[in-house]
Structure 1
Amino acid sequence: MTPPDTGLVIVVLAPHDPMTRGQLRRMAELARDHGHRLRWEEARGGPGAPLRTVAGLAGPLRRARRIVIGDPFSRYVQLLLPLTRARELVVVDDGTATMEFVSQLARGERLVRWHRRGSRGARDLAFAPVSASTRRRLTPNARRSVTVFTAMPVEAPPGVDVVRNDFAWTRAAFGPPRLTRGTDLVGTSLVETGVVDPERYLAAVAGLARAYGATRYFAHRRESTEKLHRIASGLGLEVVRPELPLELIARRGPIGRTVLSFPSTVVHTLPLALAGTGVTVAVCDIDPVWLTERASPRAEGFLSEVTDTASDVRRLPAMPLSAPSAVNTGHTPQATHPCG
């Protein structure tokens, strides 16, 4: 049976990363199954792709009454936003970046991802007028409303409506999951973004797996193949690369009775998606000594904020940790306390 047309057109600006593309392909199938029309744009597919994408979307963007965007930090989104005359703008994002976006919007600052350092290169300077235009368009006025739909704990700037995502659709559409007797560990891309030292991260994963009996490691879509190989071969964890967002995977099951995570989106979203299932979500803080010299000065405070504002999670007690020989890193970081 063909689902009814909802009138919603979803535009995917396809990224280069293979894992992200794979997840988006599966989410596109779900969207079509629920009656939504979808346009898959290879917006990054070569020198002429950006112009073709902008030209192809200009008409629909001008005619739309409501525009929903998923990543206000995306430069592609910022390029497209000036084309719309929509009276309703909605930002839908359950990522930790939403917390920074709302704060920057309230302070009138330029939109910069929290893990980036403050220095501005030539590309940043050239793009500054576009970024400033985006910030103005995402500021509500008499002609335009702005809504943020998110599960993250944010305080609405003046005039912005915040609607909480309680994952009711996810709970209704999937599960309840079958629970295993084991513990699962959720990975993070903090190493790949240059925030956390890779050897200290591997040592932390090893320590958590040993202390809490974790057997599976759910990889973040941006984690490197090399790092995941070391986790699988050196630590003996089963590495799972989810084909859908983790909230849907966990809801479909099977999932461990305890899920361990570092500070990330999932410490806010998984308790909502798994409400009533008996699953415990636990969070391990990032010790400041894990941070690299390249980490943004904002990193330590932001990661602490992600943990401190999470509800319905268990804070793991501090424990001494050193890199095990099984990781085979070539050098051993000094002992530290990863979970405080």
Structure 2
Amino acid sequence: MSPRAGHPGPPSRTLAFVESPVQLLNVLEWARPHGLRGGEPDVLRETGAGTGAGPGPASAAGAAAVPDPHRPSAPDRPPAAEPLPSVPAQVRRTAAGGPAPADAGLTVVVLSPTDPMTRGQLRRMADLARDEGHRVRWEEARGGATAPFATIGGLTGLLRRADRVVMGDPFSRYVQLLLTITRARDLVVVDDGTATMEFVAQLARGERLVRWHRKGGRPGPRDLLFAPVSSSARRRLTPGDRRRVEVFSSMPVTEVPDGVTVTANDFAWTRARFGPPRITKGADMVGTSLVETGVVDGERYLDAVRTLAKAHGVTRYFAHRRESTEKLHRLATETGLEIVRPDLPLELIARRGPIGRTILSFPSTVVHTLPLALAGTGVRVAVCDIDPAWLTDHASPRAQGFLSGVTGTARDVHRLTRVSPA
């Protein structure tokens, strides 16, 4: 379904909830074409060391911070999150003239997770959002037993005054609970990776909202307890006479619910802000958290990475923020790959460069987003299918079909059909 013809003027109060760096990136992508650009940066100050080839995000090592009462303190920055020399630090872009005005159209609320890598990337994305003139409110939403009550209590007023609510993860129980409070007539879902495809399909079929890798299993006690809230959230995400719903996505969306507006995310903001990158002669590989989520067997994954790296001359492995330290240590020891823990979403890392002429990936969001972010650079993205033999006994019955769909619907990628262990 095509987007509405002409967007109305920006509502006076737009509230965005994000829980991951990619969600925040896609909020920034959404804000620009929707008239919420904030204060355009007009001064570049070099506040971070490094050899980056142009303005970009704050580096993980030593970038000066913009004072903010909601920004987490320095101890939250994990040493492991610092980029290796092969991924240069960047020049920090800051806006002249002080903070964004109090009536700025967009306020981003970060519902901070506990994972150190995710927190580190979110901090840097929050800097970028501030540099664009948007207000950022950091919530320690998972900082103890009483944190959810304090967070929800502190956000209730903002939610009730909001004209539009933007969310990155409609499957999140936190977000679903917050949806029961808001009176906003405009609801927007921005990409949270491949989960967006499943969300739209479930909404179209009137199904309960369940993440794809959990679908097919029996609901647990928490699921049953939270079921009324989840059902309420699904109803609120269904368009009606007094409610408009938009999905902003770079993913292929085939089953569109009646009344839902789908707007394409082509990563125009990313391409305008970063790059073009310097292209190296070698190949890079993108890691996945399919082992950590219990979908793929760890030993099979290690064998596949080793085989792909040898066959395609891969030298660097860009780790997913959720990959375990133990698994990454084994990969480095047994494959000789240089393990890079990016300090920002991979779309920005690749766009700022340097990046390999070929990027290898397993089925994941990046097989859809990287060709858009790297359009016109000549970089080739190649995707390797997940062999059914790699799946664990605990994998959802839908896992293979969903992962094959992620690969099959990707545009502008080279498909590697099978990997045989060396």
TM range (shorter): over 0.9
Instruction: Within 5 Å, give how 1:1-340 maps onto structure 2.
Output: 1-2=96-97, 4-5=100-101, 6-116=104-214, 117-155=216-254, 156-322=256-422
How far apart in 1 are the matches of 2:397 and 2:263? 30
Contact 1:94 1:151 in 2 (8 A): no
Q: What SS does structure 2 have at the residue aligned with 1:76?
A: helix
How far apart in 1 are the matches of 2:176 and 2:258? 22
**Structure 2 counterpart of 1:338:** none
Contact 2:304 2:420 in 1 (8 A): no
- TM-superposed CA distance for 1:94, in Å, is 4.5
Q: Which ranges in structure 1 are unaligned for 5 or more consecutive residues?
A: 323-340
- TM-superposed CA distance for 1:77, in Å, is 0.3
Contact 1:149 1:164 in 2 (8 A): yes
Q: TM-score, length-normalised on structure 1?
A: 0.93
How far apart in 2 are the matches of 1:166 and 1:108? 28
Residues 153-190 of structure 1: CA distance to partner in whole angstroms, max 9, x if unpaired? Answer: 01321110000000111100000000011000000000
Q: TM-score, length-normalised on structure 2?
A: 0.75
Contact 2:159 2:182 in 1 (8 A): yes
Contact 1:185 1:214 in 2 (8 A): yes
Do the aligned partners of residues 130 and 94 (structure 1) sit closer, same or farther apart at CA in structure 2, a change above 3 Å counting?
A: closer
Q: What SS does structure 2 have at the residue aligned with 1:83?
A: coil
- TM-superposed CA distance for 1:321, in Å, is 1.6
Aligned residues: 322
Amino acid at match of 2:414: R
Contact 2:316 2:339 in 1 (8 A): yes
Q: Per chain length, whose mean CA-contact separation is higher, i.e. which structure has more relative contact order (CA < 8 Å, sep 6+)?
A: 2
Amino acid at match of 2:161: R
How far apart in 2 are the matches of 1:35 and 1:266? 27
- TM-superposed CA distance for 1:317, in Å, is 4.6
Deviates more, 1:115-124 or 1:164-173: 115-124
How far apart in 2 are the matches of 1:159 and 1:307? 28
Q: Which ranges in structure 2 are unaligned for 5 or more consecutive residues?
A: 1-95
Contact 2:197 2:253 in 1 (8 A): yes
Q: What SS does structure 1 have at the residue aligned with 2:407?
A: helix
- TM-superposed CA distance for 1:234, in Å, is 1.3
Deviates more, 1:47-56 or 1:2-11: 2-11
